[in-house]
Amino acid sequence: MNYQWYPGHMTKARREMEADIRLIDLVIELVDARMPLSSQNPDIDVMAAGRGRLILLNKADLADPAVNRQWCGYFEGKGYQALLINAKSGEGLRSIQGKVQAACREKIERDRRRGIRNRPVRAMVAGIPNVGKSTFINSYAGKAVTKTGNRPGVTKGKQWIRPQKDLELLDTPGILWPKFEDQAVGMRLAFIGSINDDLLVKEEVALDLISFLSETYPDALTERYGAPGGEPLPMLEAIGGMRKCYKKGGEVDLEKTAGMLLDDFRNGRLGRISLERPKKGNGL
Ligand code: G4P
């Protein structure tokens, strides 16, 4: 399957992101814990230069716990503050305050030297589509929202919310675009549902997912469907047969089976699966 994908509106998104970054001290960058590098955009390094960075590995509940720990170590080894979270349940969010302080230590020190005390850290949330930005903003700041927009020095129309005393957050997240030029990245984005399924041939995505799972999580399909191992196409057919996904004439409905498989994977019903692991040469 060819995973080339050219999202529109990205120039506008970039311009908005660059304008917003001027207002802030810290970028809270959300990535998908199942594929932290493939769900990251390296342009953020340039755009966020001189700002603090906190990397939140979201959807940690869907990813392999052992690999999650490796990724945290990977980012920390590169000098970033990193945290595993589940924005949906709120797990991990309590540790954010400490991480924000650590990520902005230099700025806080600088303020102190200039006699500025208790100026809140200003931050924005950023990430590629579907990574959980809105869910995060709602669960982290939802209840304690104090709108503090439209004051001098703040771009008109920008709203700030204050999830805690020493942190102000732009209420709209910065949208980054994925690195869709890379086939392997495109494939992972398709697996997690970050490329509109209408742009893809579902059966082919499902076949690629079966190949990946057979290699890296060989028990996942057997445990869920009782499907024996084998080549991807016969496996997809077997899964369809076992789940009684038939067309009118009695043959297996591969499209429907593929849709079900992808849906099961995306909702964690095949287990906690990581699509990417840190390895040497996996540099940012
Ligand atoms: P975005 O703003 O970055 O585009 O992402 P958004 O918050 O809309 O989240 C995209 C999907 O990811 C939502 O699912 C959301 O519920 C889910 N999600 C966000 N964070 C987590 C997490 O930590 N764990 C899990 N398992 N899911 C998460 P949806 O299917 O679009 O909506 P819904 O059916 O959950 O309401």
The residue whose CB lies within 8 Å of the most ligand 1 atoms, and thus the one to mutate among 17, 29, 134, 135, is 135
Q: What is the pLDDT of residue 196?
A: 78
The boundaries of the domain holding residue 90 are 8-171
Q: What pTM did the predictor assign?
A: 0.91
Alpha helix segments (H runs only) across the chain: 10-21, 43-47, 65-77, 96-103, 105-113, 133-141, 183-192, 202-216, 220-225, 232-242, 254-266
Structural domain contains residue 277: no
What share of the chain in percent tops pLDDT 70?
Answer: 90
The backbone torsions φ and ψ at residue 150, rounded to the nearest 5 degrees and listed phi first, read 45, 55
Same domain, 238 and 162: no
For residue 216, what is the domain's CATH number? 1.10.1580.10
Q: What is the pLDDT of residue 1?
A: 64
Looking at the structure of the chain, the number of domains it has is: 2
Pairing of strands 160-164, 167-170: antiparallel
Same domain, 41 and 166: yes
Q: What is the pLDDT of residue 227?
A: 80
Cβ pair 136, 182 in contact under 8 A: no
Same domain, 135 and 228: no
Same domain, 110 and 219: no
Residue 112 to residue 95: CA distance in whole angstroms: 24
Residue 59 Cα to ligand 1 midpoint, Å, equals 8
Same domain, 115 and 251: no
Evaluate if residue 6 carries a pLDDT over 60. Answer: no
Structural domain contains residue 98: yes
Q: Which atom of ligand 1 approaches the CA of 173 most closely?
A: 2
Ligand 1 within 6 A of CB of 131: yes
- The 10s digit of each residue's pLDDT in 225-263 is 998 888 999 999 999 999 999 999 999 999 999 999 999
Same domain, 128 and 244: no
Residue 88 Cα to ligand 1 midpoint, Å, equals 7
Q: What is the pLDDT of residue 104?
A: 94
What share of the chain in percent tops pLDDT 90?
Answer: 67
Same domain, 105 and 45: yes
Structural domain contains residue 25: yes
Pairing of strands 26-32, 160-164: unpaired
